[in-house]
Amino acid sequence: MGAFEEYEQYDGMGLAELVRREEVSPAELVETAISRIEELNPRLNAVIHKMYDIALEEARNPQFDGPFRGVPFLLKDLTAAYAGEPMRSGCRFLEDFVPRQDSEIVRRYKCAGLIILGKTNTPEFGLVPFTETELFGAAKNPWDLTCNPGGSSGGSAAAVAARMVPMAHGNDGGGSIRIPASCTGTFGLKPTRGRNPAGPLVAENWQGLSIDHVLTRTVRDSAAMLDATHGPDVGAPYVAPPPKRPFLDEAKTEPGELRIAFTAEPFLPSTVHEDCVRGLEATVKLCQELGHEVVEARPQVNGLEFARAFFTMVCGETGATIEEMEAVRGRRARPQDFEPSTWAVGLLGRQIPASEYSKALHLLKSYGRVVGAFFERFDVLLTPTLSRPPVKIGELQPKGIEALALKALGRLNSGRIIKSLVNIDELAAQVLEFIPFTPLFNASGNPAMSVPLYWNATGLPVGMQFVGRFGDEATLFRLAGQLERAQPWRERRPMVC
């Protein structure tokens, strides 16, 4: 059985339709995807764990006849547990950790008919918006191999952009689907809080700020996948409002005239690159040409206050994660088990008083009220996804004295000393400067998507973010389908293709 030569021309739904018509077999698709990974991954470092034997066996003897039967797929190596396969989360401490059961989202992917070929590169615990780890090395951007594909779902985004697979799993706790979608010219939707399941291993991730979905090349793949996976699992702490009809139907429906707010002013302290502003201006013009009312407006956010609270939450969650992993592994963690910045953040988290952590969560969740009130006046909010085009590999890493200081502080193994020496506000602002538009909507829970509508003069993609009302992915999919028809991006190919 040979490769399917037209593989790269099809999205996931297109491949599934060929399988249904028996014009191609699942085995042919899997073998072709494996060939693509083997050809391109040495340059991209997108896939860090291969499951070829399992995938080929499933392709030859499919167990599920879902809407994506036979379609090759990749899992991000973070939170998505696949029983019997490693889940390292970009971390040396978990290098030989193997879950004993599937996450519910993985079970639903399997029931949808997807065939999982492996796992993709992600930063340690998904903490940073770029995919560079000491354990697996840097993922590379298919549009420019000197650039990073973003994070934390960077390996998945690179694999989709390079046409290794038509779509891949991601998750988003501060922008981690939308960030790499912007950097790689792919489509990335963060669903409404509670839309997709988080169990059964945890009740929620990052206090409900993080949620799973996929990165795709087409809007319809994202919509059809959400149709296949959405809905509460057993014991879910909350439930998103149910959709009125399938999301795939919404993606085919004209949105009508929408009232769209837009802003280039970042919600968190940052300076927005002129390429992102140009992309926003071009997108505003496109939306006006499509008949929408477009008004300059934004929710009011205290950026420094939000950044401090978000970073406090991340510190607390990292400290808790390290302690939980110690229990799973049955041994104490050591500084050398983690990257210096992760260890330092974890130590800081263990020094945060419960009252301070709770106040941070109260503030973050209060922005659901602020954003909710804003959407009483507008249907959609438009911003750049990021403050900059894709950055060079290593550009966002700690350097020089800062890197040495992190290692030295980690060796002290004292959160109390670290907290006394580190300016939390400065560190929070530095960490979030690249992503000043995305975390707000993790806190509020609103659905938000990065749409590949602009490429800069050097040929790098610059995504545009659209945010909808809580529970209203339908409007976003209708708008995204219209934008895709008006300004198609599917045939744009990165340099490695």
Taking alpha carbons only, the member of 171, 10, 191, 199 closest to residue 75 is: 171
SS3 69: coil
**Alpha carbon 383 to its chain's center:** 17
What residue type is 467 in one-letter code? V
Taking alpha carbons only, the member of 198, 247, 285, 280 closest to residue 450 is: 280
Q: Is 176 a catalytic residue?
A: yes
- Which of these is catalytic: 76, 119, 140, 190? 76
| Cα Rg, the chain, nearest whole Å | 21
- Which of these is catalytic: 89, 156, 176, 444? 176
Contact of 321 with 354, CB cutoff 8 Å: no
Q: How crowded is the C-beta side of 12, counted as CA atoms within 13 Å?
A: 32
Phi–psi pair at 350, nearest 5 degrees: -75, -15
CA distance 465 to 456: 16
What DSSP assignment string belongs to 38-54? HHHHHHH--EEEE-HHH
Taking alpha carbons only, the member of 118, 11, 120, 22 closest to residue 68 is: 11
- CA torsion through residues 174, 394, 77, 385, sign: positive
- Which of these is catalytic: 103, 152, 156, 270? 152
DSSP state of 56: H
Catalytic residues: 76, 152, 176
